């Protein structure tokens, strides 16, 4: 399955899903923090979810429960850049905390942008995540919860997203 994202609409079979994208639009990504949703075609990673908030879902991809100590490294100087990390009390790098008070990361799927052998400062933590207000993101793709559940039913480990 190839998911297509053009402007702020995801085409998924017969479904057209409204989404929000990076404040910088869809372009070739320049650097970490540029707020651009990266143009290109990418595989999807596993689903991460908050089990105390999300009780039931159907999907054909692997899933993992989000724990309080989980983060996604966005520090270009770290050997763990653009990777899932388990955060200790003292750390010397920046990261996206996955266990959040708001509901944006109750469901997330990392997009495999700059994923294998990541290039420093080329961008990290590009996710599908939730939104309630469709405000621009920092480069991620955000969906309403009902539409995220539709996405989950369609995708499998071979699915890709084409962002153009």
Q: Would you list the domain boundaries of the chain?
A: 2-163
Topology at the third CATH level for domain 2-163: L,D-transpeptidase catalytic domain-like (2.40.440)
Helix (H) or strand (E) holding 161: strand 160-163
Q: What is the pLDDT of residue 8?
A: 96
* Structure confidence by residue, pLDDT tens digits, 40-84: 999 999 999 999 999 999 999 999 999 999 999 999 999 999 999
Contact call for residues 82 and 43 (beta carbons, < 8 A): no
pTM of the model: 0.96
- Whether residue 34 is predicted with pLDDT greater than 80 in this model: the reply is yes
Q: What is the pLDDT of residue 77?
A: 93
* Two structure tokens written together for 10: 């995801």
* Structure confidence by residue, pLDDT tens digits, 105-134: 999 999 999 999 999 999 999 999 999 999
Say how far apart CA 154 and CA 12 lie, in whole Å.
Answer: 8
């Amino acid at each position: 399955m190839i998911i297509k994202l053009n402007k702020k609409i995801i085409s998924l079979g017969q479904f057209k899903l409204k989404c929000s994208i990076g404040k910088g639009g869809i372009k070739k990504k320049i650097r970490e923090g540029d707020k651009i949703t990266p143009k290109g075609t990418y595989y999807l990673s596993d689903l991460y979810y908050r089990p105390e908030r999300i009780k039931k879902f159907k999907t054909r991809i692997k899933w993992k429960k989000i724990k309080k100590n989980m983060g996604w490294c966005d520090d270009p100087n770290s050997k763990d850049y653009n990777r899932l990390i388990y955060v200790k009390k003292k750390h010397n790098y920046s990261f996206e905390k996955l266990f959040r008070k708001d509901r944006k990361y109750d469901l997330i799927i990392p997009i495999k942008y700059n994923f294998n052998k990541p290039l420093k400062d080329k961008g990290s933590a590009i996710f599908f995540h939730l939104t309630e207000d469709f405000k621009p993101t920092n480069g991620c793709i955000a969906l309403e919860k009902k539409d995220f559940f539709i996405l989950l039913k369609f995708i499998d480990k071979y699915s890709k997203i084409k962002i153009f």
